[in-house]
């Protein structure tokens, strides 16, 4: 339930993200309410928000809608309106047509349009204004992800008294790719408005530090970047994780255990069940993975009468042309494999293009013998960690791309190169046929990592480091680097 709150009290902890942490629901009588969105970030930060009566700034999810701030479950929600055109240009355009492919190693070709940049700049300004109004004196502000990379500097200019953190949930590319971006300098300066810039992996943090040194000629020493004003910014890796205990508890519940057995039966009670769970995104390597599995079936390494592959592809960015093409390509590949290699009783691949609740995903993880996670590039990838958390019997096997951020932590997975079809085939075969002892040894190590470094540890680590940043006397300027970012001009 939510309560109207026309006047918000200044908050000493503010999260800024593209979306609010709630979804709108409408009951049979037409009454509108809000419910907490699923996802690890909300799970991690909700207790902090409630304890500190914090505020969350974000878009409510519908175009051309202006909502008043309101209270929800012990903290404040501050909606930021977006027009339909801004969603097209800022979100679908610059965020997901320019930054997303560029930051994911140009798996797809980025597009560079000045009107997209103008919308991105304008929306970031609006988020910064909303944050400035709700943040109390000396407040801690944590800005989230690639859609809002200009907000830290915009906030720094307006409110030099704030402690500002930023976390990038996707990869940060090497300079050789990043320098393609016409507005590269503005993005770098935007991020340097933060006291701490968090990345998924040490490689991402090092890429950013290298860019500041080479492009802006700033002095760097390990994680620290010294700005002309004398202020320092810290670029550091904080690998994000999941609510591991929550997933384990859910997986062990009777309804989920019963559903896992039912799922295997619906799939023909296979001796080996392979599972893929992804957003339908070209970075996830779904097409490559299914092609590799199809070849294993065609070569009779895998018998489709004894094995099954369940692939879940959650709909994503359905209006973006690149995603439409991927959807069509995957549909045709699955149809061809099933037409050539399946039979009436059991298809070689069961493909579900749909979203599923957390409990159903936990049942899938519980049912699957082998989870196949093969992104071409991923900031972290939490599916692999969710699968591990659900394997309380220390059975199961994880096939993992070396290009997932999680590969640096989950070293006992069966590692593969998703660009190498033979490597994927070898990894899937080994995971299927390895000894029980080897599988258990690997899974025990994976579970130690996931449960030791869970979502709470991630949030605590970042916020503790941010709290250690020396406070600045309110009203004393603590400027960011360089001049205010230009709206349209590309800079070196």
Rounded CA separation 182/198 (Å): 23
Rounded CA separation 374/426 (Å): 13
Residue 382 is predicted with a pLDDT of 95
Task: Please report whether residue 431 resides in a domain.
Answer: yes
Pair (208, 302) in one structural domain: no
Task: Please report whether residue 479 resides in a domain.
Answer: no
Tokens representing 168 are 């990038």
- Beta-sheet strands, E only, within 289-380: 307-314, 349-352, 370-373
Residue 476 is predicted with a pLDDT of 42
Residue 31 is predicted with a pLDDT of 79
Whole-model pTM over 0.75? yes
Pair (114, 255) in one structural domain: no
Task: Please report whether residue 75 resides in a domain.
Answer: yes
Pair (108, 215) in one structural domain: yes
Task: Measure CA 128 to chain center.
Answer: 22
Residue 46 is predicted with a pLDDT of 83
Pair (171, 58) in one structural domain: yes
Residue 485 is predicted with a pLDDT of 42
Pair (276, 150) in one structural domain: no
Domain of residue 14, CATH code: 3.40.50.2000
Write the DSSP assignment of 234-301 as a string of letters. Answer: EEEE------HHHHHHHHHSHHHHHHHHHHHHHTT--SEEEEEEEES-TTS-HHHHHHHHHHHHHTTS
Q: Are 288 and 418 in contact (CB under 8 A)?
A: yes
Pair (183, 287) in one structural domain: no
Q: Which domain holds residue 336?
A: 244-452
492 residues of the chain, pLDDT tens digit each: 444 444 668 999 999 999 999 988 887 777 778 988 877 688 778 888 888 889 999 999 999 998 999 999 889 999 999 999 999 999 999 999 999 999 999 999 999 999 999 999 999 999 999 999 999 999 999 999 999 999 999 999 999 999 999 999 999 999 999 999 999 999 999 999 999 999 999 999 999 999 999 999 999 999 999 999 999 999 999 999 999 999 999 999 999 999 999 999 999 999 999 999 999 999 999 999 999 999 999 999 999 999 999 999 998 877 777 888 899 999 999 999 999 997 767 899 999 999 999 999 999 999 999 999 999 999 999 999 999 999 998 899 999 999 999 999 999 999 999 999 999 999 999 999 999 999 999 999 999 999 999 999 999 999 999 999 987 533 344 443 333 344 444 444
Per-residue buried b or exposed e for 287-312, using 16+ beta carbons within 10 Å of the residue's own CB: bbbbbbbbbbbeeeebebeebbbbbb
For the chain, how far is it from start to end, CA to CA, in angstroms? 49
Pair (120, 227) in one structural domain: yes
Q: Are 363 and 263 in contact (CB under 8 A)?
A: yes
Task: Please report whether residue 219 resides in a domain.
Answer: yes
According to DSSP, the residues that pair with 278 across neighbouring strands are 313
Pair (210, 280) in one structural domain: no
Task: Please report whether residue 145 resides in a domain.
Answer: yes
Q: Are 49 and 140 in contact (CB under 8 A)?
A: no
Burial class for 454, CB neighbours closer than 10 Å (0-12, 13-18, 19+): buried
Residue 8 is predicted with a pLDDT of 64
Residue 482 is predicted with a pLDDT of 36
Task: Please report whether residue 28 resides in a domain.
Answer: yes
Pair (87, 222) in one structural domain: yes
Pair (253, 344) in one structural domain: yes
Pair (281, 302) in one structural domain: yes
Task: Please report whether residue 489 resides in a domain.
Answer: no
Task: Please report whether residue 74 resides in a domain.
Answer: yes
Residue 319 is predicted with a pLDDT of 74
Pair (56, 131) in one structural domain: yes
Half-sphere exposure of 455 (CA within 13 A, CB side): 20
Q: Are 239 and 203 in contact (CB under 8 A)?
A: no
How many domains does the chain divide into? Answer: 2
């Amino acid at each position: 339930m939510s309560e109207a709150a026309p006047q918000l009290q200044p908050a000493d902890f503010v999260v800024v993200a593209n979306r609010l942490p709630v979804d709108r629901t409408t009951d049979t009588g037409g009454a509108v309410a809000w419910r907490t969105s699923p996802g690890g970030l909300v799970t991690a930060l909700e207790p902090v928000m409630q304890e500190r009566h914090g505020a969350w700034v974000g878009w409510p999810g519908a175009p051309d809608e202006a909502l008043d701030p309101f209270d929800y479950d012990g903290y404040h929600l501050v909606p930021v309106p977006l027009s339909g055109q801004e969603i097209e240009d800022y979100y679908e355009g610059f965020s997901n047509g320019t930054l997303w492919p560029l930051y994911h190693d140009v798996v797809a070709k980025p597009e560079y349009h000045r009107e997209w940049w103008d919308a991105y700049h304008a929306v970031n300004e609006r988020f910064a204004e909303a944050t400035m109004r709700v943040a109390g004196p000396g407040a801690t502000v944590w800005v989230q992800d690639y859609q809002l990379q200009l907000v830290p500097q915009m906030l720094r200019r307006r409110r030099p008294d704030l402690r500002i953190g930023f976390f990038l949930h996707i990869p940060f590319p090497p300079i050789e790719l990043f320098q393609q971006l016409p507005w590269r300098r503005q993005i770098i300066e935007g991020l340097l408005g933060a006291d701490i810039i968090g990345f998924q992996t040490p490689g991402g943090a090092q890429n950013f530090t290298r860019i500041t040194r080479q492009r802006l000629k700033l002095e760097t020493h390990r994680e620290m970047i010294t700005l002309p004003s004398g202020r320092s910014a810290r670029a550091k890796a904080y690998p994000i994780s999941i609510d591991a205990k929550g997933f384990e508890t859910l997986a062990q519940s009777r309804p989920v255990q019963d559903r896992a057995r039912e799922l295997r039966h619906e799939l023909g009670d296979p001796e080996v069940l392979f599972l893929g769970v992804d957003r339908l995104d070209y970075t996830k390597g779904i097409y490559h993975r299914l092609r590799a599995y199809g070849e294993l079936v065609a070569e009779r390494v895998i018998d489709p009468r004894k094995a099954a592959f369940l692939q879940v592809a959650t709909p994503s960015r359905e209006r973006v042309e690149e995603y439409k093409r991927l959807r069509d390509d995957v549909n045709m590949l699955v149809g061809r494999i099933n037409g050539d290699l399946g039979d009436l009783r059991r298809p070689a691949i069961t493909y579900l293009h749909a979203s599923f609740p957390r409990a159903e995903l936990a049942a899938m993880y519980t049912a699957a013998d082998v989870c196949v996670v093969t992104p071409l590039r991923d900031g972290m990838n939490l599916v692999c960690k969710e699968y591990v958390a659900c394997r309380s019997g220390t059975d199961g096997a994880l096939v993992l791309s070396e290009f997932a951020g999680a590969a640096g932590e989950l070293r006992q997975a069966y590692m593969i190169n998703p660009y190498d079809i033979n490597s994927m085939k070898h990894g899937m075969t080994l995971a299927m046929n390895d000894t029980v002892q080897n599988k258990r040894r690997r899974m025990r190590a994976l579970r130690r990592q996931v449960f030791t470094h869970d979502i709470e540890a991630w949030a605590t680590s970042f916020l503790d480091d941010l709290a250690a940043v020396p406070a600045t006397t309110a009203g004393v300027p603590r400027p960011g680097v360089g001049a205010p970012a230009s709206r349209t001009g590309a800079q070196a």
